[in-house]
Amino acid sequence: DTGVSQDPRHKITKRGQNVTFRCDPISEHNRLYWYRQTLGQGPEFLTYFQNEAQLEKSRLLSDRFSAERPKGSFSTLEIQRTEQGDSAMYLCASSLLVHATDTQYFGPGTRLTVL
C-alpha cells in the first residue's frame, strides 16, 4: 500500500513531556499538511509544506509546536511541554499540486493522549 502513513498510531504521554510524530506522504507528492482533530469537531489546519518549505502556520500553532520536512519527503511534528489540551488526533495529508487546486490524501492519524 502506498498511501500516507503515520507513526505512531497512538501515543500516551504525561503532561510536560515532549512528543514527536512522523508522517510519510505518498511518493512524489509535493505538499504535506498537518491537521488536528478533537472529539466531535472537524479537523483544524495546523501547518503545511510545499517540498521542504513551510508555507503557512495556523495561529493555532503555538510556539510549543514545530514541524519540519527536511528533504521534502517525510515530515515530523514535535510538541514540546505537552498540555492536556493537546490531546487530539493529529492528521497528516499529502497532495500533488499541479494546477489551481489539489486533492489531499489523509493518513490514519496519530491519537495523542496527555495525562
> Which residues contact other proteins by CB under 8 A?
33, 35, 41-45, 48, 56, 91, 93, 97, 100-109
Contacts for 54 with CB less than 8 Å, ≥ 6 apart:
47, 48, 67, 68, 69
Q: Which is nearer to other proteins, 3 or 16 (CB)?
A: 3
Q: Is the dihedral of CA 42, 102, 69, 23 positive or negative?
A: positive
Tell me how far the alpha carbon of residue 104 is from its chain's centroid: 13
Q: Which is nearer to other proteins, 68 or 102 (CB)?
A: 102
Q: How far is the CB of 44 from other proteins (least distance, A)?
A: 7
Sheet with 65-68: strands ordered across: 5-7, 19-24, 75-79, 65-68
Q: Which is nearer to other proteins, 48 or 82 (CB)?
A: 48
Q: How far is the CB of 102 from other proteins (least distance, A)?
A: 6
Q: Which is nearer to other proteins, 71 or 99 (CB)?
A: 99
